[in-house]
């Protein structure tokens, strides 16, 4: 806020890119700048306010305080979308409604969940974690015993390797940000560093991998390099301060910051140290990504630098007409911190730098904001993130040239491939509605 | 943690202890050390990982002929008659090559036959996982390999023959970030 403040005589905010993108400084001195814009006749569609009166809630005693509170009854539309609501014998997914959320921490009730056999109902008093294989002392830990260990708390995201898979479609599917990007969320995780437990067990130097296994009905198992286990892996017990939700791994899960969601084994019950990877179902088949030449990637691990705009986005109509709006969204990278997010309102022809909301945490959601004066005409919005590893989010055209796309539009619930991290484009129409496009 | 270690080392030096000895001791003293020892025998019921070289495969054997009726009884409701697919994935040979339009099968994609045994034993059938005997899992593994034309109907699958099954796609994988392993 130091330095020159805009003055009331500076009526026009500085344009930084095509189609009305304003300098992010407009957000800092927003009162002056946006007032200036309004004075210039932009957003002048608002009608005069009605005379004020008390609502009924101001005239009577309120309700009893619930022991565990839930959102207002007026927020019942802010829920996860379910692709298996009757719980038939197949995978179930519940997607996060990013278009209705702000900030960087996903509320626990809205954190995305994927289960391969329903949500297990685990009694924490009977749950055990075994560490064995290439260790000096095979050990068993209970939840109570882990509570005694030194803990750490870190903010970070979990993203399904298949998040954003609808963008592998050869034609843009008319879906919203929840359907397209809803398999990612960000929490504050508290738990015990896995390295602490591995040191207690005494890892044989020959061990290069560990097979992590859950206690769910399919005993989901994945191979993880010991290098990651010793670096920043956590046995997470708490999610945003409270015990982990059943859909997210209660009573304990493996958390591998920045790595493919499926590797972050929920309901963790066993870690076996090995020389070689297990080539489990999920790594040798499901999370191996087919390439156009018929080969396939294996052990992708990393959720690479990515961003998407959450507002405006499909389903959020810009009903107010032309005027000043905030474009906002989420950026994150499994490599580390987000260093920059660019925003375009003209389909990538010109770019302006968005403001990054503090805190900017490595391997966590970073909220970006960009002031925009919409002139009421068509506008194609894009965001492009950069991380501290020097990585830049690719365009969709660049990405599919390497990774391929379908030959016909798939179901929005399908997963043609995984690890899609290219740019998403939302087209604002003259009527204020927003469409998904490729640009 | 590092702060704790520095403090502990400083205390050790102040007490005139050998820092070297203390460093070794600190492994034990700065942790609660609440892990309970368990013998290989006691953890054996959970030690079900099967490796590509066959490590972890139990005694027993089976053939596709033995597996077919088990599949019909316990798997076909979801995976379809003769594995043609239903609510759950098809498990037959399918197209010659998988693409982004779909079609990953055991024959055209799975790199290791051992993964079939490992996954079926831990996860299938979905409505009663871990209800199959090892003998039944061997028979079903043989049936799936036979449906995918990778073995004959009467070929015996056991701890020795399963890892030796030639999987056509085994050499078509590229490790994405080898520096992270």
User: Which CATH number is B74's domain given?
Assistant: 1.10.760.10
What is the CB neighbour count within 10 angstroms for residue A11? Answer: 13
Range of the domain at B65: 42-164
Closest CA to A189 of A243, A240, A265: A240
* CA–CA distance, A390 with B6 (Å, rounded to integer): 34
Residues A217 and A137 in one domain: yes
Q: In Å, how far is B34's CA from the nearest CA of chain A?
A: 6
Q: Are B106 and B144 in contact (CB under 8 A)?
A: yes
For residue A406, tell me if it sits in a domain.
yes
For residue B170, tell me if it sits in a domain.
no
pLDDT band at B30 (very low <50, low <70, confident <90, very high): confident
Residues B18 and B91 in one domain: no
Question: Which DSSP letter does residue A24 get?
Answer: T
Q: Which of A279, A296, A325 is where one domain is finished?
A: A279
Residues A236 and A354 in one domain: no
Residues B31 and B48 in one domain: no
Q: What is the mean pLDDT of chain B?
A: 88
CA A356 to chain centre: 16
CA A63 to chain centre: 35
Side-chain-facing half-sphere of A429: CA atoms under 13 Å: 10
Residues A255 and A135 in one domain: yes
Q: How many structural domains compose chain B?
A: 2
B44 and chain A in contact, CB less than 8 A = no
A347: left (phi > 0), else alpha (psi -120 to 50), else beta? left
Q: Residue A230: which CATH number?
A: 3.90.420.10
A187: left (phi > 0), else alpha (psi -120 to 50), else beta? beta
* B87 contacts in chain A (CB < 8 Å): 88-90
Q: Does residue B22 carry a pLDDT above 70?
A: no
Helix (H) or strand (E) holding A325: strand A323-332
Q: Which residues does A76 contact at the CB level (< 8 Å), separation at least 6? A: none
Burial label for A231, CB within 10 Å (0-12, 13-18, 19+), is middle
Residue-level pLDDT at B34: 97
Secondary structure (3-state) at A56: helix
Preferred mutation among A285, A336, A389 to probe B, highest tally of B CBs within 10 A: A285
For residue A82, tell me if it sits in a domain.
no
Q: What percent of chain B lies above the pLDDT cut of 90?
A: 80
Residues 81-100 (B) with a CB less than 8 A from some CB of A: 87-88, 97-100
Q: Does residue B14 carry a pLDDT above 60?
A: no
Residues B64 and B111 in one domain: yes
For residue B179, tell me if it sits in a domain.
no
Closest CA to B96 of B152, B163, B166, B148: B148
Question: Using alpha carbons only, how large is chain A's radius of gyration in Å?
Answer: 24
Interchain contact, B35 vs A200, CB within 8 Å: yes
Angle at the Cα of A276 from the Cα atoms of A273 and A279, rounded to 5 degrees: 105
Residues B27 and B82 in one domain: no
Residues A330 and A275 in one domain: no
Residues A313 and A268 in one domain: no
Helix (H) or strand (E) holding A31: helix A30-39
* CA–CA distance, B64 with B60 (Å, rounded to integer): 14
pTM: 0.92
Residues B25 and B51 in one domain: no
B49 and chain A in contact, CB less than 8 A = yes
pLDDT tens digits, B85-136: 998 989 999 999 999 999 999 999 999 999 999 999 999 999 999 999 999 9
Residues A135 and A275 in one domain: yes
For residue B75, tell me if it sits in a domain.
yes
- Give the one of A197, A276, A280 whose C-beta lies nearest to B35's C-beta: A197
Q: Does residue B7 carry a pLDDT above 90?
A: no
* CA–CA distance, B169 with B111 (Å, rounded to integer): 6
For residue A167, tell me if it sits in a domain.
yes
SS3 per residue for chain B: CHHHHHHHHHHHHHCCCCHHHHHHHHHHHCCCCCCEECCHHHHHHHCCCCCCCCCCCCCCEECHHHHHHHHHHHCHHHHCHHHCCCCCCCCCCCCCCCECCECCCCCCCCCCCHHHHHHHHHHCCCCCCCCCCHHHHHHHHHHHHHHCCCCCCCCCEECCCHHHCCCCCCCCEEECCHHHC
Residues A272 and A149 in one domain: yes
Residues A264 and A339 in one domain: no
For residue B62, tell me if it sits in a domain.
yes
Average pLDDT of the residues in B32-47: 97
Measure Cα distances from A109 to A112, A242, B69 in Å: 9, 12, 44
Q: Are A395 and A424 in contact (CB under 8 A)?
A: no
Q: Are A316 and A99 in contact (CB under 8 A)?
A: yes
> Following CA atoms B106, B109, B114, B115 in sequence, which dihedral angle do they give, to the nearest 10 degrees?
-90
Helix (H) or strand (E) holding A309: strand A306-311
Q: Dump the DSSP string for A115-129.
A: ESSS-----TTT-EE
Preferred mutation among B2, B31, B34 to probe A, highest tally of A CBs within 10 A: B34
For residue A384, tell me if it sits in a domain.
yes
Please report, in tens digits, the pLDDT of each residue of chain A (439 residues total): 444 444 444 556 799 999 999 999 888 654 444 444 443 444 445 678 999 999 999 999 999 999 999 999 999 999 999 999 999 999 999 999 999 999 999 999 999 999 999 999 999 999 999 999 999 999 999 999 999 999 999 999 999 999 999 999 999 999 999 999 999 999 999 999 999 999 999 999 999 999 999 999 999 999 999 999 999 999 999 999 999 999 999 999 999 999 999 999 999 999 999 999 999 999 999 999 999 999 999 999 999 999 999 999 999 989 889 999 999 999 999 999 999 999 999 999 999 999 999 999 999 999 999 999 999 999 999 999 999 999 999 999 999 999 999 999 999 999 999 999 999 999 999 999 999 999 9
* CA–CA distance, A357 with A65 (Å, rounded to integer): 33
Helix (H) or strand (E) holding A196: helix A194-201
Residues A135 and A259 in one domain: yes
Q: How many structural domains compose chain A?
A: 2
Give me the phi and psi of A147, to 5 degrees please: -60, -25
For residue A74, tell me if it sits in a domain.
no
Residues B6 and B70 in one domain: no
For residue B64, tell me if it sits in a domain.
yes
* CA–CA distance, A426 with A432 (Å, rounded to integer): 12
* B109 contacts in chain A (CB < 8 Å): 285, 288, 290, 296
Of A381-390, B37-46, B84-93, B153-162, the least confident? B84-93
For residue A77, tell me if it sits in a domain.
no
Residues B119 and B61 in one domain: yes
pLDDT band at B60 (very low <50, low <70, confident <90, very high): very high
Answer yes or no: is the ipTM higher than 0.90: yes
Interchain contact, B49 vs A221, CB within 8 Å: yes
* CA–CA distance, B122 with B125 (Å, rounded to integer): 9
* CA–CA distance, A323 with A39 (Å, rounded to integer): 11
Q: Does residue B18 carry a pLDDT above 60?
A: no
Closest CA to A239 of A206, A264, A212: A264
Range of the domain at A226: 128-279
Residues B31 and B49 in one domain: no
Residues B26 and B114 in one domain: no
Interchain contact, B27 vs A280, CB within 8 Å: no
Residue-level pLDDT at A229: 97
Residues A322 and A240 in one domain: no
Q: In Å, how far is B129's CA from the nearest CA of chain A?
A: 6
Question: Using alpha carbons only, how large is chain B's radius of gyration in Å?
Answer: 24
For residue B175, tell me if it sits in a domain.
no
Interchain contact, A299 vs B175, CB within 8 Å: yes
Interchain contact, B31 vs A416, CB within 8 Å: no
Residues B92 and B141 in one domain: yes
Residues A310 and A362 in one domain: yes
Residues B74 and B19 in one domain: no
Residue-level pLDDT at A186: 99
Q: Residue A381: which CATH number?
A: 2.60.40.650
Residues A259 and A315 in one domain: no
Helix (H) or strand (E) holding A239: strand A234-239
Angle at the Cα of A385 from the Cα atoms of A379 and A390, rounded to 5 degrees: 145
């Amino acid at each position: 806020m130091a330095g020159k403040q805009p003055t009331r005589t500076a009526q026009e905010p500085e344009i930084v890119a095509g189609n009305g993108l304003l300098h992010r400084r407009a957000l800092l001195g927003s009162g002056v700048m946006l007032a200036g814009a309004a004075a210039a006749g932009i957003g002048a569609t608002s009608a005069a306010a009605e005379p004020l009166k008390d609502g009924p809630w101001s005239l009577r005693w309120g309700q009893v305080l619930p022991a565990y509170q839930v959102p207002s009854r007026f927020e019942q539309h802010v829920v996860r979308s379910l692709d298996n609501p009757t719980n038939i014998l197949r995978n179930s997914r519940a997607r996060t409604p990013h278009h209705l959320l702000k900030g960087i921490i996903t509320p626990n009730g809205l954190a995305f969940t994927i289960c391969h056999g329903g949500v297990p109902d685990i009694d924490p008093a009977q749950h055990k974690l075994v560490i064995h294989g290439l260790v000096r002392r095979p050990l068993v830990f209970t939840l109570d015993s882990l509570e005694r260990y030194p803990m750490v708390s870190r903010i970070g995201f979990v993203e399904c390797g298949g998040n954003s898979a609808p963008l592998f479609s050869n034609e843009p599917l008319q879906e919203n940000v929840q359907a397209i990007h809803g398999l990612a969320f960000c929490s504050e995780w508290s738990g015990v560093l896995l390295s602490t437990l591995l040191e207690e067990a005494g890892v044989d130097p020959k061990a290069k991998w560990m097979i992590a296994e859950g206690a769910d009905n399919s005993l989901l198992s994945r191979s993880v390099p010991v290098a990651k286990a010793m670096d920043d892996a956590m046995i997470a017990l708490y999610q945003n301060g409270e015990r982990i939700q059943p859909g997210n791994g209660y009573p304990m899960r493996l958390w591998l910051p920045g790595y493919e969601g499926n590797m972050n084994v929920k309901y963790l019950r066993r870690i076996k140290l090995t020389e070689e990877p297990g080539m489990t179902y999920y790594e040798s088949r499901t999370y191996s990504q087919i390439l156009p030449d018929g080969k396939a990637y294996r052990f992708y691990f990393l959720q690479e630098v990515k961003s998407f705009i959450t507002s405006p986005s499909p389903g959020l109509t810009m009903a107010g007409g032309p005027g000043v709006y905030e474009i906002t969204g989420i950026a994150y990278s499994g490599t580390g911190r987000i260093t920059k997010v660019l925003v375009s309102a003209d389909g990538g022809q010109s770019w302006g730098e968005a403001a990054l909301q503090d805190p900017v945490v490595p391997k966590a959601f970073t909220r970006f904001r960009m002031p925009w004066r919409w002139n009421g005409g068509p506008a194609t919005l894009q965001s492009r993130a950069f991380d501290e590893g020097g990585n830049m989010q690719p365009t969709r055209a660049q990405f599919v040239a390497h990774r391929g796309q379908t030959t016909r539009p798939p179901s929005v619930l399908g997963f043609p491939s995984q690890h899609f991290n290219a740019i998403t484009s939302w087209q604002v129409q003259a009527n204020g509605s927003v469409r998904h496009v490729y640009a | 943690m590092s702060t704790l270690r520095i403090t502990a080392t400083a205390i050790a030096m102040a007490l005139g202890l050998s820092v070297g000895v203390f460093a070794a001791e600190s492994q034990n003293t700065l942790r609660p050390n609440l892990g309970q020892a368990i013998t290989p025998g006691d953890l054996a019921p959970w030690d079900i990982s099967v490796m590509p070289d066959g490590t972890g495969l139990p005694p027993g054997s089976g053939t596709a002929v033995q597996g077919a009726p088990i599949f019909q009884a316990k798997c076909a409701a979801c995976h379809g008659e003769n594995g043609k697919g239903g609510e759950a994935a098809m498990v037959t040979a399918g197209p010659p090559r998988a693409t982004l339009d779909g079609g990953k099968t055991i024959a055209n994609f799975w790199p290791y036959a051992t993964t079939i045994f490992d996954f079926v034993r831990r996860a299938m059938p979905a409505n009663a996982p871990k209800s199959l005997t090892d003998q039944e899992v061997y028979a079903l593994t043989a049936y799936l390999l036979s449906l995918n034309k990778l073995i004959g109907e009467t070929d015996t699958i056991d701890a020795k023959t399963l890892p030796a099954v030639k999987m056509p796609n085994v050499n078509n994988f590229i490790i994405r970030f080898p520096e992270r392993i």
